Chain A
Amino acid sequence: MFWRGFRAIMPLYLGIIPFALAYAVTARAAGLGILETQALSVLVFAGASQFSAAPLLGAGVNGLAIILTTFLLNVRHLLYGVAVARVLPNMTWRERIVGAYFLTDESFGTFLASGVRDYRFLLGASISLFVSWNAFTLVGALASSLVPDPNALGVDLVFPLSFLALLIPVLKARVEWFVALCSGILAWLIVPRLPAGLGILMVGIAGSLLGAILTHNEIPTENIHLEDATREVA
């Protein structure tokens, strides 16, 4: 099950590899050493915030500003954690901590889209991403002068496309399509006008609220089963 999750991420390597290389090249160009470049990939493990932080760290910008931006960029993971804990209510403390450390957009999306309700699948997907991101951070950091510019290739399109391919199978009921449509329009309007990360968080909350309000007549099914199962185990 671990390897099933590990393999499920592999199509995304198409985007992850050039971006790990690009991040490493950016960080090295900004004056970070190989160790510092790698440390961000191991310890922070969040592509967008590493990209935005590397030049600032190199320039010696105030650390608090960098930390606040990182927080805004990553606070949406709180919502992912809640969703994972709902789907896998029987996780141990250790699994929650390890699972959280490696949780990303990609592993969360792949896990939910797979329909597999197994912690090992989630962990496999997360570790697959961690290993590839870090391996190619190292390659890029060591060979920073040889790597071509991935933006010129347009490889950044891989990320919206992969999120789209993960999202579509989740959309079944009409209300889910409607919430996606409204969230998309709202994001298109507000995300470019707000600090990075804040707009995504606001759309995430507004869209989920809209969905919860629109489904107030619905009888929850999956969650009842999960909670019954938890109670039986307990």
Chain B
Amino acid sequence: MNFWLTVLGMLVVTFGSRLAGMFLTKPLPAFWNRFVRFVPIAVFTALITPSLEGTRGEGLPRLLAAIFCGFLAWRTKQLWIGLFVGMLGFWLLRELF
């Protein structure tokens, strides 16, 4: 298949997924309202846990960095503090292990 035709298909399925939910305008039944409240929690956890360990045998420093990051995000509610301290911690720990 032609490159541009494939890219068009990728655009359609990606934009289509993003768009489909946005056009849900009618009020949802109570059950689905509660469902939607948990979507970011479930999806983000699913994005985090499988990628924490990494593929280069750096599982322990990565996990410890995540614990620093999570603790700071909880205490400070600031994205950048958790992120920067977590990454710095990872780079330091990686040298130690």
Residue positions of A touching B, CB distance < 8 A: 8, 10-12, 14, 36, 39-40, 43-46, 49, 53, 57, 62-64, 66-67, 70-71, 74-86, 89, 91, 96-97, 99-101, 103, 105, 108-110, 112-113, 151, 154-171, 176, 179-180, 183-188, 191-192, 199-200, 203-212, 215-216, 218, 220, 223, 227
Q: What are 27 residue pairs bridging A and B, where the CB atoms are less than 8 Å apart in the complex?
A: A14-B83, A40-B7, A63-B2, A75-B17, A78-B20, A79-B39, A81-B19, A82-B24, A83-B39, A83-B40, A85-B24, A103-B22, A157-B54, A161-B82, A163-B48, A165-B79, A166-B73, A183-B46, A187-B45, A188-B50, A208-B35, A211-B38, A211-B42, A212-B32, A212-B37, A216-B34, A223-B27
Q: Which residues of B contact A83 (CB under 8 A)?
A: 21, 36-37, 39-40
Contact A14 B41, beta carbon cutoff 8 Å: no
Q: Which of A82, A86, A187 contacts B50 (CB 8 A)?
A: A187
Contact A170 B41 (CB under 8 A): yes
Give the CA-CA distance A103 to B23 in the complex, in Å: 14
Residues of B within 8 A of A (CB-CB), count: 68
